[in-house]
Structure 1
């Protein structure tokens, strides 16, 4: 079974994005291939604004003429335009093209007519310099003409806000690939987003009226936010959804803010800046957090600010600990937790490192300890490899909740969904696998039913496996086991009546939290080292979540007789091939 909605929309997105990207044909020469996006991305945003505003253009001009003497007129003009933005220039693309001799002055007049929130978007694109380069290369008129054709039409009557967002995503991917960037850093495919939204909204109690807040700390072009809004409205179309997001990449932030304006939301909720070092939402809390932060990326740029905030303790976001400098993804988890309302829930994508990286007492382990001992980890879902466009590694969706229902309290559900996918007919980068309707339903069913050691689907095909553990099952005491130094006669060396530890014989043991340390020591250590003792001053608590071990299934080796038969068969085939070869050479 295939998700028809994803595939149909995906086809339309790809076709429209390809047609728009082909505008780059006329940029060859003046612009290098990796610079095409500098023109195409802002022009696509401008054309989307243009086509949205076109039906109310005359009404806005009329309202502007009657109200321009007032000190504040934004409210009048946004009501007239029907959007959170407007344009008071007399020009539209059609009239721009009618005066080719003055295309630059008129186009700049057109852009200057946009409201201040659009000006911020254009500034993030550095569009002024791009226009100058198009003028110098005589391509401005040609680009505007191409965008004014039917293939460049981006009106809401033909392309929904969600679909337009994904067209932006596709264009960003093409730009990133031409620039040599990792395209996956900018977006997450729709099949994964829908799985995250459905997991977050399982058993959601959405009131008939009211407001739900959604936050994405690394929003890219904001498609996770728009898909969350879409899913919530499918459950209750009357509920109000307010989206908030932060992004550090200027062009993707510009697209996100543009998308928010087009969808009728508050563009001021889309904020620019580095989430780790320049938190734009201090003091805010949200009902839902959904995010795919970068993983495997260092946080050296943010190190000074992050360490300073960590010293604030509970007054900051990073009190529990800091991960290794080469991988900052756990910092985003801590940021998200600090932003969750008392009944908040978060879905966040991570690679395998946060499951087990770091020994007892290290920053990564302390962060896991903080999450588990507060009973905020609800579930972890392991996805298959090859799910993302820029990496083939295994990835995991963590579901965290500040208000678990009683039956999930003190427990963590692990779902192995690494076999729950369908292969794509055509890969996109390294994305070769899709989470289709069937796959998503199986995973959501496993999550919702909350059964231990339950398999959903066909064990010989597409399936997922659910297991449930106590939070303490992931914890351990790391004990230091000492052995005594001995003199040349084999006698134990004493100091103040106590044996002196031999550093060369020092060892450690990880004792599960659910086990008594002394009994473990008597059972597992003393029978093999009767002179050993525990240095209890060095005991540290650690946490790790070894999913691979929990879902490992023993595969018995091939029987020896079968191996012998296979080897003999291979030997026979090789011998026959050699005989045939030498026989042929003798004939020559």
Structure 2
């Protein structure tokens, strides 16, 4: 028997939900608890049957209930009084619709405490997890609880082993992802992506008698975590153990239930970023598909006060992906490796000096990034964007050290015959094997390139430019040594529309303004702020001279008795301030004018060199070549970004001019023939 025959049977339960007026997007929340119930029951029956074979049915019957409970409890797979003691299952309960309500409630309450918590049988304060109690209440209100439960009771998973049940579970979760767009990205990583991740991991591990510990900090329902483990177990005899944590109640419950039927698997509930349940553990392998673009503002203080040392830098509060990345790196043991799924923002968001850029730099400085793989668009169920696999490795081979490989696998896919939500493509087996082969060989191909890690670094050199006039002069040259500006004592200021003749104002129009401060805020301050010497004819008159800015020649001008002096490029700065009364002076408005050099802060992006001396020489040579104005060096910040488009961009081949002209001639001839037809 093929267990996937039950996939259709399971989805027949959705027909009843549809007929009851339940929206399609809500189906997963109705189906999750019952699917979990069916899985648990089948495994408990199979476990109990195995126990009978192991110690004998007669011997088992003689064991006191308390000892039997302890014996089964030690297996860590749960307990149910109806199944173990009364030998009754959902099928038996659904035989009698009259007693069903009472029997079903007793059946659910017959589970051990942990299972009841996961299913949400006794819902009070706190987590509801799968919330089967809430679902039952809604189905009762629709008067379809018995019919719905009976359909699930007909799904007999008892003949199948854990691996087969897990396969069915993955197929069902995938379909949930198809119809539940708002949670699909969190709920399910496609099988083909999981397979590729597993192929990458298996290409880097070896047979060993040591335990292989696998960790997923955002494990959801466990698809990726358990899927990777199963694929490793198919290729290696090495013992594996899975660890996972998730904050979503229902998905955690599904993963937790699944974990109970895997050797020593540990699944915990909670927010990994603020409550790491495995704080004292390190792992051989980490995998994750953390949520994209999800804000961590709700627990910002906890992150900022984190004492674990996990978060070297804190990225923008609007996107926590790089928080998860730092956490995962902190969980790797000395020789650990991992594969993490991200969207494109982690490659290039944030300028040099930002937390995002600094995290990327820290990762490359640590030489932990072995490769980044661009996946095709339309790979996930609820997004058509490009996604990327970051391959992390703390035990790089010698030829990979201090290097990063970029693999553009955007064309390595097979179109799906039928779209699944936004998913229209899959990385098929041949493509997966080709990608892994390329990664293993670590050599340049037509779709992959190996770079020294510093290739992704750049200098963001800040400089202070001194603007000059058409003769190359700056007002800076007119200043006395040590002075940054020349203060004027004006007697008049004009902008062509209005004149100011007072520069210390103590009186105001009491009919229009309530106070001198009111006059300042409403009249003087806005006027002073509006003065733009480059756009208006702002003229400053002192007792000895007039000053203005000559826009045509880009210079300040000083005129004394008709004689003009060009002062060089500079600024006219008009400031106004309100001063409260003091012991020696009354309340007043003060207006001041000064001339300053015209400085302009600028940034230049310059290639980076590993050697400090060579790097500085590159900066000097670049600025000498491209900057013609006088300037002073300011801070230099080293940034890191990865730009797949820039590296793998292939310009469209232009058509020959002769071909274009020939086509135009043909079109013109066609138009003439059409015109002739109209005339006739």
The alignment's TM-score, normalised by the length of structure 1, stands at 0.85
Q: Distance in 2 between matches of 1:30 and 1:366?
A: 52
* Residue 476 of structure 1 pairs with residue 458 of structure 2: yes
Other-structure match for 1:552: 649
Q: Distance in 2 between matches of 1:30 and 1:418?
A: 41
Q: Is the 8 A contact 1:165 1:221 kept in 2?
A: no
Q: Is the 8 A contact 2:288 2:340 kept in 1?
A: yes
* Residue 37 of structure 1 pairs with residue 37 of structure 2: no
Cα deviation digits, residues 276-297 of structure 1 (max 9, x gap): 2332221211100011111122
Cα 1:502–1:510 shift into 2, 3 Å: farther
Shift of 1:196: 0.9
Cα 1:173–1:260 shift into 2, 3 Å: same
Matches within 5 A, 1:100-499: 100-123=97-120, 124-149=129-154, 152-157=155-160, 160-173=164-177, 176-177=180-181, 181-207=182-208, 209-237=209-237, 239-262=238-261, 264-266=262-264, 269-309=266-306, 312=307, 315-319=308-312, 321-451=313-443, 453-455=444-446, 465-485=447-467, 490-493=473-476, 497=481
Structure whose alpha-carbon radius of gyration is higher: 2
Structure showing the higher strand proportion among its residues: 2
Cα 1:409–1:549 shift into 2, 3 Å: same
> What SS does structure 2 have at the residue aligned with 1:206?
coil
Cα 1:16–1:573 shift into 2, 3 Å: farther
72, 95, 106: which one aligns with 1:77: 72
Q: Is the 8 A contact 2:361 2:640 kept in 1?
A: yes
Cα 1:579–1:97 shift into 2, 3 Å: farther
Q: Distance in 1 between matches of 2:458 and 2:111?
A: 60
Other-structure match for 1:520: 618
Unaligned runs of 5+ in 2: 121-128, 485-595
Shift of 1:141: 1.6
Shift of 1:49: 1.6
Shift of 1:134: 2.8
Cα 1:32–1:420 shift into 2, 3 Å: closer
Other-structure match for 1:22: 12
Q: Is the 8 A contact 2:214 2:243 kept in 1?
A: yes
Matches within 5 A, 1:501-512: 505-512=600-607
* Residue 50 of structure 1 pairs with residue 41 of structure 2: yes
Cα deviation digits, residues 272-329 of structure 1 (max 9, x gap): 11222332221211100011111122222232222222xx4xx32112x122222221
The alignment's TM-score, normalised by the length of structure 2, stands at 0.74
Q: Distance in 1 between matches of 2:193 and 2:636?
A: 41
Other-structure match for 1:87: 80
Cα 1:217–1:571 shift into 2, 3 Å: farther
User: Which deviates more from structure 2 when the two are superposed, residues 129-138 or residues 181-190?
Assistant: 129-138
Shift of 1:436: 1.0
Unaligned runs of 5+ in 1: 1-8, 456-464
Q: Distance in 2 between matches of 1:24 and 1:530?
A: 72
Cα 1:557–1:34 shift into 2, 3 Å: closer
Tell me the C-alpha RMSD between the 2 structures.
2.9
User: Which deviates more from structure 2 when the two are superposed, residues 228-237 or residues 538-547?
Assistant: 228-237
Shift of 1:368: 0.4
Q: Distance in 2 between matches of 1:470 and 1:344?
A: 22
Q: Is the 8 A contact 1:482 1:502 kept in 2?
A: no
Shift of 1:117: 3.1
> What SS does structure 2 have at the residue aligned with 1:229?
helix
> What SS does structure 2 have at the residue aligned with 1:342?
strand
Cα deviation digits, residues 186-209 of structure 1 (max 9, x gap): 1111111111111122132231x2
Cα 1:482–1:155 shift into 2, 3 Å: same
- Number of aligned residue pairs: 544
Shift of 1:83: 6.5
Q: Distance in 2 between matches of 1:74 and 1:341?
A: 38
Q: Distance in 1 between matches of 2:92 and 2:189?
A: 39
Structure showing the higher helix proportion among its residues: 1
Q: Is the 8 A contact 2:178 2:381 kept in 1?
A: no
Shift of 1:570: 3.8
